[in-house]
Amino acid sequence: MKASPFAAFPAITLRGRHASQRFFFPAAALFAALGPWLLLGIYLPGMPAVDIATHARGMLFGYVGALIAGYLGGRLLTRQLLTLFGLWLAGRWAEITPSGALVTQLLYAGFGLYLAIIVAPRFTAAKKWRNRMIAPLLIAIACFPLLLLVAGMLRLAPLLSLHSLLLLICLLMFFMGGRFITPLLARAYANRGATLPHRVQPALEGTVMLLLLVAAILDLAGTDSRWTSLPTGAAGLLLCLRLLRWRLPWRGLEQAALVAMGYGYLWLGLGLVVFSLSLAGLLPVTASLHVITIGALGTLSSTVMLKFSHAPGNAPARVHQLVVVLLSVAVLARFLAPMLSAYYRELLTLAATLWSVNFLLVGGTVLLANRSKPPGACSHPRSPA
């Protein structure tokens, strides 16, 4: 008898625990695939449209929130999963329906607050200050919609910028990306009978984290963007230096996940440098932001979803390679679009198409992996000590 396509999702029972990644990873991939086309309805007739601000909030609150819930949520009680996933779905629905700004903001805030309550306490036992920063960082990212809601009620909304949230997300990607890369790279070196040089690089890691935190605070404080550009650019350069010192193997099917993660990390460093130039008024802001969101966030999140949805050693190497190619071309197309105005719509459409193909591929691969797992199975990263 042919299996139902819904077999990828475990049956919800009234008792027990369920792996959050089995729900949030496919949902995040599907939402990511649809997201650009909701915005491109502005340019392409006959399609539903959201404005640029709603598109940005959908990606930063919705997509990133789903990633955090899937990656760090672990195995949740049924009531927790139903509440969290229900709030997330309601928020996505409110974005594209005339439900009112206040309802949408309340759903954003409710999901973020509940996510913070679930995830942040898992990092409170950390000993090193760099690891102890992650709990308040997760709270700040998850509760940013709540801060926006409160600021709007107090008429302080102009003081809160989504640029600040993006810088905090960059800090989280930098930290989590390093924790993802180092064990994979150490294993790759060990397989060759060598030792990984500069494993964690604690001084460099701490410096980048502080620089990004300072940049986010400067932006929140309404400081001249040229001052914010300095720590942002310095963090990007140091991130590239960290990657260079790791000496990653940049090709090979046997290390496909590591290579894909390395490219995502590289896009993060380059994106921060380019974003700093845009803050200084030297480049278009939207183009530079998409180097971070498409290149870094897209590649790193795709790699994480693929890696943690498969048993060790069974991750699809060719899919990791396709992720790198699809998103690298998408980044270049989106970055060049404002500079090649004669081909603006064509380049936007190309970038959106490649992004969507990537996440349909990732989502489909994750669903197939879920079907081969028992309902309670969950690959869950360990919290740092």
Residues 352, 245 within the same domain: yes
Give the chain's domain count: 2
Residues 344, 208 within the same domain: yes
pLDDT of residue 270: 97
Determine, yes or no, domain membership for 46.
yes
Which ranges of the chain does DSSP label H, i.e. alpha helix?
21-40, 52-57, 64-72, 78-95, 101-119, 129-132, 134-142, 144-153, 162-191, 202-220, 225-246, 256-279, 285-290, 299-308, 317-336, 344-371
- Which residues does the chain have with pLDDT short of 50? 1-2, 4-9, 14, 159
Determine, yes or no, domain membership for 66.
yes
- Rounded to the nearest 10 degrees, the angle between the axes of helix 317-336 and helix 299-308 is 160
pLDDT of residue 195: 78
For 144, the domain range is 15-160
Residues 44, 118 within the same domain: yes
Determine, yes or no, domain membership for 374.
no
Contact predicate 239/226, CB 8 Å: no
Residues 224, 357 within the same domain: yes
Residues 173, 152 within the same domain: no
Q: Output the six-digit token pair for 105.
A: 């903001």
Residues 129, 89 within the same domain: yes
Residues 283, 299 within the same domain: yes
Determine, yes or no, domain membership for 224.
yes
Determine, yes or no, domain membership for 10.
no
Of 160, 179, 199, which residue constitutes the final position of a domain? Answer: 160
Residues 25, 104 within the same domain: yes
Residues 168, 312 within the same domain: yes
Determine, yes or no, domain membership for 221.
yes
Of 160, 181, 214, which residue constitutes the final position of a domain? Answer: 160
Determine, yes or no, domain membership for 52.
yes
Determine, yes or no, domain membership for 380.
no
pLDDT of residue 100: 75
Residues 289, 332 within the same domain: yes
Of 160, 176, 204, which residue constitutes the final position of a domain? Answer: 160
Q: Output the six-digit token pair for 208.
A: 């980048």
Residues 144, 211 within the same domain: no
Residues 169, 244 within the same domain: yes
